Every structure is written in C-alpha cells, then in structure tokens.
C-alpha cells in the first residue's frame, strides 16, 4: 500500500470574499471564506485535514498566526502552504529562490 503522503490530495483555499469568489469561479470546490475572526481557526482546521495536499491562503492570514504556526506552515509539505496576495492591500512576495529553498531544500544559483 502506498504511503499516505504520496497519494494525491485536494486543494483548499482560505481567503476573503473576493479571493474565495475568484477560486470558486475557476472551479475549486474546497474554498472557505474567512474573516479576521475566523481565519486562524479555519487555517488550523485545514492544516489538520489529511485530505488536503495544497493549502492556498490569503496573505492577510499569515500575520494573525502565532510564530509557531507560521514556522509549521513554512515547513509543511503536506499540505504545502502557499500564501497569496489579497485582492487589495499590501502583501509580501516570496521570491522563487526562497520558495525553492523552503519547498525543495535547494538553493538556486544566480543567473550569469
């Protein structure tokens, strides 16, 4: 029997109304609209659900998480956690080299 981590999983999206609508429009079914009050609880619930292999979360959720939760999300491979910019407002962009280091454990060499 294959390892659970090797099995394909579902994608879940957590975000504000605009973000949730956008992902629903492209056909994703597991989309949870969150508010500042519900975002941390919904994030924890999604992280604990073994059916999810990818968790796409609004960048606005990240600062609401504890330092320990952020570290766990950054290190998690199942589900892989990706924070996406909010439809409006400021956001932090993760570079491709930082993403590769976090997800794959490799350092990209600068282009020559």
pLDDT tens per residue across span 56-84:
999 999 999 999 999 999 999 999 999 99
pLDDT tens per residue across span 15-58:
999 999 999 999 999 999 999 999 999 999 999 999 999 999 99
Domain count, the chain: 1
pLDDT of residue 2: 45
Q: Is residue 70 part of a domain?
A: yes
Q: Is residue 23 part of a domain?
A: yes
Q: Is residue 64 part of a domain?
A: yes
Q: Is residue 109 part of a domain?
A: no
Residue 94 belongs to domain with CATH number: 3.40.50.10580
pLDDT of residue 111: 59
pLDDT of residue 85: 86
Q: Is residue 4 part of a domain?
A: no
What Rg value do the Cα atoms of the chain yield, rounded? 15
Range of the domain at 62: 9-104
CA 39 – CA 51 distance, rounded (Å): 19
Q: Is residue 99 part of a domain?
A: yes
Q: Is residue 95 part of a domain?
A: yes
Q: For 48-57, b where at least 16 C-beta lie within 10 A, e where not — what string?
A: eeeebbebbb
Measured over the CA atoms of residue 57, residue 63, residue 69 and residue 72, the dihedral's sign is: positive
pLDDT-derived band at 100 (thresholds 50, 70, 90) equals: low
Q: Is residue 57 part of a domain?
A: yes
């Amino acid at each position: 029997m294959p390892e659970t981590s090797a099995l394909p999983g579902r994608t879940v999206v957590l975000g504000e109304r605009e973000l949730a609508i956008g992902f629903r429009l492209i056909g994703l079914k597991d989309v949870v609209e969150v508010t500042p009050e519900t975002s941390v609880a919904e994030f924890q619930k999604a992280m604990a659900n073994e059916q999810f292999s990818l968790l796409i979360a609004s960048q606005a959720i990240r600062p609401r998480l504890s330092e320990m939760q952020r570290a766990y999300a950054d290190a998690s491979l199942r589900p892989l956690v990706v924070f996406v910019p909010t439809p409006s407002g400021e956001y932090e962009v993760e570079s491709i080299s930082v993403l590769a280091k976090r997800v794959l454990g490799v350092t990209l060499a600068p282009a020559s």
